[in-house]
Amino acid sequence: MSALPFTEHLAGAYEAAAGSLPGAKDADVVARRKAAIAAFQRLGLPNHKLESWKFTGLNALERQQWTLPANDGSVDPARLQAAALNADSHRLVFVNGRFDAAASKIGSLPKGATLLPLSQAAGNLADVLAAAGDKREISLSELNAALASDGVVLLLEDGVVLDKPVEIISFGVPALVNLRHLIRLGAKAEATVLESYRDGGASEKLAGWTNVYAHVAVGAGARLAHIRLQAESDAAYHAALGRVSVGAGARYAHVSVQGGAALARHELHVDFAGSDAEVDVQGLVLAHGSAHLDHTLFLHHAVPDCRSNQLFKHVVDDHGHAVFQGGIRVAPQAQKTDAQQLSRTLLLADRAQIDTKPELEILADDVKCSHGASIGDVDAQQLFYMQARGIPVAEARRLLLSGFAYEVVNAVPEGALRDHVEAFVEGWLAANSEKGGLK
């Protein structure tokens, strides 16, 4: 192992790969990527000393010398079948961080809709690679901008409605994969997007690192249901940052399920750009082994008359460690804001742990804001109730856990999508129960 510092090593990886990244011939894109890698080198990885990274450290990432994945690769059909939605969809599959045309099925799109892999969206590259901000807290998004090898560009013009869900599936590989998405809905447009991050199965032992950045803009009166399923291999690292702006009268519903990876963080920043908008963010964490799974949110109510709701549930087993940080800021002018937040946790093992930090910053007076948190084991009375009715204790526990998780699963749009997410959650619970966990 060479002794190069982490950031320099990655800068080297960028130099080596620069020629083969999308937009390598476009001088503006190259300049932007160079600036991004320089910014990452300057800022460095976020660490414990930053308030928003207090509970999650990235030392494990620093210990490895990351390589970028090979340019080709394909996915085992059985694995794809298992990961894909059991319904018609606009499907984009990424293997090794590259668009896999053979496995994908974009299908026909209505007029005014654009859906492309980033590698084929030359005209949108500069837009997609735009910086999220110059802060150490989000420096991984600059690393992502420099190294992004692919991603999804979804653009809907005003009033365009996508009937079928857009399905994005990425298979993790033992390398550093950078995907960058741009989702932009015009006024009154409607879409449903499912992002799945799956175990590529190339090597069970080697860890991969998937680094995702998504920019989402929901136009006035538009509706976007955005579901995220993080089901990477238990050895993998996963870091995702989402930047969402929500226009007047729009609705953004996000469900994030994390049930894989050794270390994962999904950070979501939501800005209210127009009044009367509604945001519903729900999350479910299923942590076993020594998984460290983090959800960090910042909801910025900058305009009046908006509503937001957050519900996060955590099931933590073994040595698992769940983190929930939910920031809400209500600006002085954002009167009539209604912001609710609830975090609930079940700790199922002696060494399981949870750190939660809701953070409410309220500068307007005519608001309704509340947050709550509860932490404990499965309720003994509920268990007793079920046992008294002849249900074996293991099954009773699993039923209670299903019920606990179902509240979040229920936020996924009905039909094939919800079935898909539910199947994953039930599968996780069944597998852990069989292994002798969840006690």
Partner 1 sequence: MAANAQTIETVEGLAGEYKYGFVTDIESELLPKGLSEDTVRFISAKKGEPQWMLDWRLRAYKSWLRMAKEKGEPGWAKVSYPEIDFQDIHYYSAPKKKTLKSLDEVDPELLATYEKLGIPLKEREILAGVAVDAVFDSVSVATTFKGKLKDMGIIFCSMSEAVREHPELVQKYLGSVVPVTDNFYATLNSAVFSDGSFVYIPPGVRCPMELSTYFRINEAKTGQFERTLLICDKGAYVSYLEGCTAPMRDDNQLHAAVVELVAMEDAEIRYATVQNWYPGDKNGKGGIYNFVTKRGACRGARSKISWTQVETGSAITWKYPSVILQGDDSVGEFYSVAVANNAQQADTGTKMIHMGKNSKSTIISKGISAGRAQNTYRGLVRVMPGAAGARNYSQCDSLLIGDRCGGHTVPYIEVKNRSAKVEHEATTSRISDDQLFYCRQRGLSEEDAVSTIVNGFCKEVLQKLPMEFAVEAQKLLGVSLEGSVG
- The least CB distance from residue 270 to partner 1, in Å, is 19
Helix, strand, coil percentages in the chain from 3-state DSSP, rounded to 5: 25, 35, 35
374 is an interface residue for partner 1 by CB under 8 A: yes
135 is an interface residue for partner 1 by CB under 8 A: no
The first and second tokens of residue 252, run together, are: 């953004």
Residue 113: closest CA among 153, 80, 156: 156
Angle (CA) 62-63-69 rounded to 5° is 80
Read off φ and ψ for residue 182, nearest 5 degrees: -130, 120
Select from 182-190, 264-272, 345-353, 386-394 the region that touches partner 1 (CB under 8 A): 345-353
> How far apart, in whole angstroms, are the C-alpha atoms of residue 13 and residue 52?
28
> Which residue from 19, 72, 350, 390 is in contact with partner 1, where contact means CB under 8 A?
350
305 is an interface residue for partner 1 by CB under 8 A: no
> Which residue from 70, 206, 363, 394 is in contact with partner 1, where contact means CB under 8 A?
363
Contact 276, 299 (CB under 8 A): no
357 is an interface residue for partner 1 by CB under 8 A: yes
131 is an interface residue for partner 1 by CB under 8 A: no
355 is an interface residue for partner 1 by CB under 8 A: yes
287 is an interface residue for partner 1 by CB under 8 A: no
290 is an interface residue for partner 1 by CB under 8 A: no
Angle (CA) 397-258-198 rounded to 5° is 115
To which H or E segment does residue 155 belong?
strand 152-156
- The least CB distance from residue 185 to partner 1, in Å, is 31
Q: Which is nearer to partner 1, 349 or 386 (CB)?
A: 349
> How far apart, in whole angstroms, are the C-alpha atoms of residue 189 and residue 183?
12
- The least CB distance from residue 308 to partner 1, in Å, is 13
Select from 226-234, 298-306, 353-361, 384-392 the region that touches partner 1 (CB under 8 A): 353-361
Enumerate the β-bridge partners of residue 267. 241, 296
Read off φ and ψ for residue 77, nearest 5 degrees: -55, -35
Q: Which is nearer to partner 1, 161 or 375 (CB)?
A: 375
Residue 182: closest CA among 242, 222, 257: 242
110 is an interface residue for partner 1 by CB under 8 A: no
Grouping H, G, I as helix, E, B as strand and the rest as coil, residue 347 is strand
> Which residue from 38, 109, 375, 416 is in contact with partner 1, where contact means CB under 8 A?
375
**x/- track of binding to partner 1 for residues 61-100 (CB under 8 A):** ----------------------------------------
Indicate the Cα dihedral angle 42, 45, 49, 53, nearest 10°: 130
> Which residue from 332, 403, 415, 427 is in contact with partner 1, where contact means CB under 8 A?
332
15 is an interface residue for partner 1 by CB under 8 A: no
Select from 86-94, 139-147, 187-195, 357-365 the region that touches partner 1 (CB under 8 A): 357-365
Q: Which is nearer to partner 1, 71 or 290 (CB)?
A: 290
- The least CB distance from residue 47 to partner 1, in Å, is 15
Angle (CA) 376-428-164 rounded to 5° is 115
> Which residue from 52, 230, 310, 356 is in contact with partner 1, where contact means CB under 8 A?
356
- The least CB distance from residue 55 to partner 1, in Å, is 8
Handedness of CA 244, 246, 247, 252 (dihedral sign): positive
371 is an interface residue for partner 1 by CB under 8 A: yes
> Which residue from 210, 245, 345, 432 is in contact with partner 1, where contact means CB under 8 A?
345
- The least CB distance from residue 397 to partner 1, in Å, is 13
Q: Which is nearer to partner 1, 74 or 290 (CB)?
A: 290
Taking CA atoms, 194 is separated from 170, 199, 234, 402, in Å, by: 11, 16, 21, 22
Cα maximum dimension of the chain: 71
To which H or E segment does residue 29 belong?
helix 27-43
Q: Which is nearer to partner 1, 49 or 389 (CB)?
A: 49
- The least CB distance from residue 293 to partner 1, in Å, is 15
Q: Which of residues 29-68 bind partner 1 (CB under 8 A)?
A: 51
Enumerate the β-bridge partners of residue 93. 169
> Which residue from 81, 86, 370, 387 is in contact with partner 1, where contact means CB under 8 A?
370
Q: Which residues of 306-331 are buried (b: 16+ CB within 10 A; e: fewer)?
A: bbbbbbbbbbbbbbbbbbbbbbbbbb
Count of positions on this chain that bind partner 1 (CB under 8 A): 35
Q: Which residues of 333-349 are buried (b: 16+ CB within 10 A; e: fewer)?
A: ebbebebbbbbbbbbbb
- The least CB distance from residue 247 to partner 1, in Å, is 25
Contact 394, 433 (CB under 8 A): yes
- The least CB distance from residue 439 to partner 1, in Å, is 10
Q: Which residues of this protein are in contact with partner 1, per CB under 8 A?
A: 51, 332, 335, 345, 347-377
